[in-house]
Amino acid sequence: MATTEYTQLNLLFEEWRSIPNYEGLYEISNFGHVKSLPKVIPLPFGGVRITNKKILKPGFNPYPYVVLCKNGIKNQRLVHRLVLEVFIGPAPEGMEACHNDGDKHNARFDNLRWDTKQANWRDRASHKPWRQMEKIKESQPVRAHANHHVMDVPTRDFTPLDGEIWHPIPGYDGFYEASSYGRIRSLKREIDTFHNLTKKMIKKTISPRIMKVSVVSSGYQALRLSKNGEKTMFLVHIVVLSSFIQKPSIEHQCNHKDGDKKNNCLTNLEWVTCSENVQHAFKVLGRKSHGHGPSGIRNPKSKSINIEKVLLLHNEGLQQRQIAEEIGATQPTVWRVLHGMHWSQRENSLPPALPQRGQLLGKNHPNSKLPDITLIQQLRNDGSPLKAIAQQTQLGISLIIDVLKGRHWSQRQTSWSR
């Protein structure tokens, strides 16, 4: 089905309702989508910021969740429970949210129900991930090719796939291995563990298994590897590529050729420099840079500022924060006006209120100080710390450092030897 047709069907059958205690702020649909409504947020230095409505991107832990904010208080809520609470009602006593198909990420209303804890456990037993993946493998065999996607690979099935190659992970030889299809498996081994009943250390055999991965906030897949009781978090794509191809240098990065952060197959990974990674994102993946939209009067969100009033208040001695509160703008906007960098000043060729950088330097600056260079150097040669020199000369530590390094304006203007 085409993307446009899918979007039209969503608009046709998707029903939105307000979330209790967040009316006017957030809404949720029967498809499990959470939407943030337009809001007017007051700024700390005056003015307001208007946010547009948008669909929130959920996190996974392992169920999808969203963070709702009201009056500065953030609350993390599970999406599937929100759907049931909005479209059915609060959970009855002793009931849990259950997924009909066993997919934790499917938060559609027609896939959810309130049920007992025993029924929830029965669902989990009948919808084990490796059983689902085994059915997928039987109905659609996996073949190794350049466009192979890691989500088509059975993640919990230990059966080797056609063309799959396993290599030991550097630093974890005999513990873990990585495959050319982006899977990580734990090898069979014995470890020392503490037995709670006998209160003694015993030998425990760990069975081989395919490691379960999680998705971090950056969108990459990650997992924890354990060795000698120490657990370390690694990104899966870096582990896979490092197991097959040695990293050329510490500056190199692991790049996904197709731009899919979850496709960790070896054929989709490569070592590149930071510059090559950025160029690949723009030239190959078509990423667009930000900050190049319409500016100034051409921007529909731009606001006109009373330049004369800003200059008048500044001449009266008001601080930039006070001026911003007076005219209903932000402090950075006032700073740009005073330095001649506001778009209205550039388009009308208006001069700045404050001297530009470089016009008031050295002795021309009204706050400049002429330190006793000989005294500072003598105190430093005697072993006095910078803090003691600053207290004795009534100067700042940064100015003392400039004098000792020959960077003070008086030393440059008098050709003082460095």
CATH number at residue 231: 3.90.75.20
- In this predicted structure, what is the pLDDT of residue 148? 41
Asked if residue 275 and residue 197 are part of one domain, the reply reads yes
Asked if residue 257 and residue 161 are part of one domain, the reply reads yes
The 10 Å CB-count burial string (b at 16+, else e) for 182-191 is bbbbbbeeee
Asked if residue 147 and residue 260 are part of one domain, the reply reads yes
Q: Is residue 217 part of a domain?
A: yes
- In this predicted structure, what is the pLDDT of residue 44? 72
Under a CB-based contact definition with an 8 Å cutoff, are residues 237 and 221 in contact?
yes
Q: How far apart are CA 317 and CA 337, in angstroms?
A: 16
Question: What digits encode the pLDDT tens for the residues 187-203?
Answer: 988 888 877 777 788 88
> What is the average pLDDT score of the chain?
79
- In this predicted structure, what is the pLDDT of residue 368? 65
In the structure encoding, which two tokens stand for residue 180, read together?
Answer: 């050319």
- In this predicted structure, what is the pLDDT of residue 404? 86
Asked if residue 254 and residue 224 are part of one domain, the reply reads yes
The range of the structural domain enclosing residue 174 comes to 141-283
Asked if residue 211 and residue 163 are part of one domain, the reply reads yes
CA 65 to the chain's CA centroid = 16
pTM: predicted TM-score of the whole model, two decimal places: 0.39
Asked if residue 231 and residue 329 are part of one domain, the reply reads no
Asked if residue 201 and residue 176 are part of one domain, the reply reads yes
Q: Is residue 166 part of a domain?
A: yes
**What residue type is assigned to position 371 of the chain?**
P
**Could you report the average pLDDT of every consecutive run of 10 residues in the chain (418 residues)?**
44 81 90 88 75 87 89 88 92 88 86 87 67 45 41 54 89 92 90 79 85 90 89 93 92 92 93 91 78 60 77 82 87 82 63 50 62 86 87 84 80 49
Under a CB-based contact definition with an 8 Å cutoff, are residues 151 and 262 in contact?
yes
Q: Is residue 35 part of a domain?
A: yes
Q: Are strands 253-256 and 269-272 parallel, antiparallel or unpaired?
A: antiparallel
Q: How far apart are CA 292 and CA 290, in angstroms?
A: 6
- In this predicted structure, what is the pLDDT of residue 183? 92
Q: Is residue 298 part of a domain?
A: no
In the structure encoding, which two tokens stand for residue 261, read together?
Answer: 């952060």
- In this predicted structure, what is the pLDDT of residue 254? 94
Q: How far apart are CA 240 and CA 269, in angstroms?
A: 9
Asked if residue 172 and residue 265 are part of one domain, the reply reads yes
How many domains does the chain contain in total?
Answer: 4
